[in-house]
Amino acid sequence: MKKYVAIGIIFFFLIVLLTGCARRGRPDGGPKDEDAPIMMLAKPVNLTTNFKEKEIKIYFDEYIKLKDLQKQLIISPPLKYAPVIKPLGTPSKYISIKILDTLKENTTYTFNFGQSVIDNTEGNILNNFKYVFSTGDIIDSLKVSGTIKDAFSNEVDKDITVMLYEVNDSFTDSIIYNEKPLYVGSTLDSTAWEITNIKSGKYLLLALKDASKNYKFNPKEDKIGFYKEYITIPTDSSYTISIFREELPFQLKRPSEAAKGHLLFGYEGVGDSLKVQPFSVSEKFESFTNFEKNKDTLNFWYKNAEKDSIQFYAINNQYRDTLTVKLRTKILDSLQIKSSVRGVLPLRDAFKLSGNIPIESIDTAKIDFIDKDSSAVAHSFSISKDKDEIVLDFVKKYDQKYSLVFFPEAITDFFGNVNDTLTYRFTTKRPTDYGNVYLTLQKVKSYPLIVQLITERGKLVEEVYAEHQQEYVFKNLVPDKYLIRVIYDNNKNRKWDTGNFLLRKQPEEVIYFNTVLEVRANWEMTETFMLE
């Protein structure tokens, strides 16, 4: 019996010992792989000269995937026919590139994969992986680099394509509309760019926000930037390019009906002087036009049309056209009124009402405006030139509550529609609830200037047109973060003007103050802006 007990005890300890050993030897997966894939072999080898192959295979030390290849891959010079590249969506230990194009003689080609090559397990990125070859005897090795900025905005678009066109005997300015460049690069997610493996020569340096990804400039959808002079490579210079959207040549679009009595004349280009004049209409026919805010559209309002169509003369500077609009819609829009104020009326703002139909008249006898003590408030109303706003003028009192009531038929629009009862309640605050900014500019190159105070989101708060040195005072500002934008108004037309490639005209210079102004309540800020 003792013998069996002893054997049992020994057997138990053996099990415990083996279990402990098994636990100590249990794998935990090892350290996390943080290494990018490594190219092991390429056929033909990287930097091959006298290249004549139709397929390239690039082998790696582990399984890889291609991520966002369409966005990341830059082939320079661009190919007419896109190569077939694998793998797409499935892991592989190699990249296959099948070339479908006829390659140029004595040219260095670069396949820059950007950040598209990643390992299959952890997604580690092989940054800026390139495969380079030449169809000639040498690999071109020169390069050029620089940065991109937006000509007007403080924010810069991502994925800007930078291009070089060789300036030779066949070069013309129209080449950017019709042909692909000789060399290309990209900013991807930054503002910096670099083009490598370039041969020496003279070039046009161009940048596009290339919406169609076809390496050709389409003014209707692309932003453009260019260096004013041709550049010569080799160079040690770094180039900053400002991108902008060109103004399109004026073109009137096909008119459309928004509602009965309301036509829309959309257009491209500058339409500030656009006029549409009806003809062959009855004596009772009445009309009014205004421009849609923030849209390239002219509103044409009409009533008492006796025919099912209207003929127009359209005039805009040198533009002339005649057109006919068929009238099909039978339903008038109803009058809608919106207030510019929600709760609090800032001391620097006016109380405004906007209408979706031109405002024809206001009956002040049907309006009641009182303060928190139910005392009548002296006031007046005006209708804007475009008849789309009603502006209330009164002396604001601090820390006050107001009630404004428009009784029925107080407001009449172009068609004779009237309002139902409209009630607006709002308050004002004290001056100590706001902040003030005092700004001085130094190292100004020339006048006039347009000095703008904007929010971080780009909304214009106040604008000052300056023709000489002065202090800029922005008072009663709602506590928030603000930016200062300065525009050199070279042509003195009181607005920012964009550029034009064919005219070799750069946009008017815009400079942002590099400090965000954090305005606080009951606080004054004094700032000096060096325009360098």
Check whether residue 46 and residue 74 sit in a common domain: yes
Choose one of 86, 103, 134: the last residue of a domain. Answer: 134
Query: Any bridge partners for residue 322, and if so which?
Result: 313
Taking the CA atoms of 316, 319, 324 and 329 in sequence, report the sign of the dihedral they define.
negative
Count of structural domains within the chain: 5
pLDDT tens digits, 95-109 = 999 999 999 999 999
Check whether residue 228 and residue 258 sit in a common domain: no
The pLDDT of residue 31 is 63
Render the burial of 381-405: b for 16+ CB within 10 Å, e for the rest.
bebeeebbbbebebebeeebebebe
Banded model confidence at residue 395, pLDDT cuts 50, 70, 90: very high
Query: Any bridge partners for residue 268, and if so which?
Result: 251
pTM: 0.84
DSSP secondary structure string for all residues of 17-49: HHHHHHHHT-----S---PPP-EEEEESPTTBS
pLDDT tens digits, 309-347 = 999 999 999 999 999 999 999 999 999 999 999 899 999
Contact 267, 250 (CB under 8 A): yes
The Cα 484–Cα 473 span in angstroms is 12
Q: Residue 13: inside a domain, yes or no?
A: no
Name the strand (E) or helix (H) holding 12. helix 2-24
Q: How many helices (H) and strands (E) does the chain have?
A: 3, 41
Name the strand (E) or helix (H) holding 2. helix 2-24
Check whether residue 215 and residue 272 sit in a common domain: no
Work out the average pLDDT over 377-391. 96
For the record, the structure tokens of 307 come out as 């025919």
The Cα 156–Cα 162 span in angstroms is 14
The pLDDT of residue 30 is 56
Work out the average pLDDT over 276-296. 95
Q: Residue 269: inside a domain, yes or no?
A: yes
Query: Any bridge partners for residue 425, and if so which?
Result: 403
Check whether residue 146 and residue 116 sit in a common domain: no
Check whether residue 362 and residue 380 sit in a common domain: yes
Choose one of 388, 409, 429: the last residue of a domain. Answer: 429
The Cα 267–Cα 156 span in angstroms is 27
The pLDDT of residue 476 is 95
pLDDT tens digits, 202-260 = 999 999 999 998 999 999 999 999 999 999 999 999 999 999 999 999 999 999 999 99
Q: Residue 332: inside a domain, yes or no?
A: no
Read off the CATH number of the domain in which 81 is found: 2.60.40.1220
Phi first, then psi, for residue 8 (nearest 5°) are -65, -40
Residue found under tokens 């009192």? 397
Render the burial of 363-376: b for 16+ CB within 10 Å, e for the rest.
eeebbebeeeeeee
Degrees (nearest 5) of the Cα angle 213, 214, 218? Answer: 95
Check whether residue 114 and residue 170 sit in a common domain: no
Structural domain for 264, as ranges: 251-326
Based on the number of CB atoms within 10 Å of its own CB, is 58 exposed (0-12), middle (13-18) or buried (19 or more)? buried
- Other Cβ atoms within 10 Å of 158 Cβ, number: 14
Check whether residue 110 and residue 160 sit in a common domain: no
Contact 428, 397 (CB under 8 A): yes
Three-state DSSP string of 391-412: EEECCCCCCCEEEEEECCCCEE
The Cα 409–Cα 363 span in angstroms is 8
Distance of CA 522 to the CA centre of its chain: 35
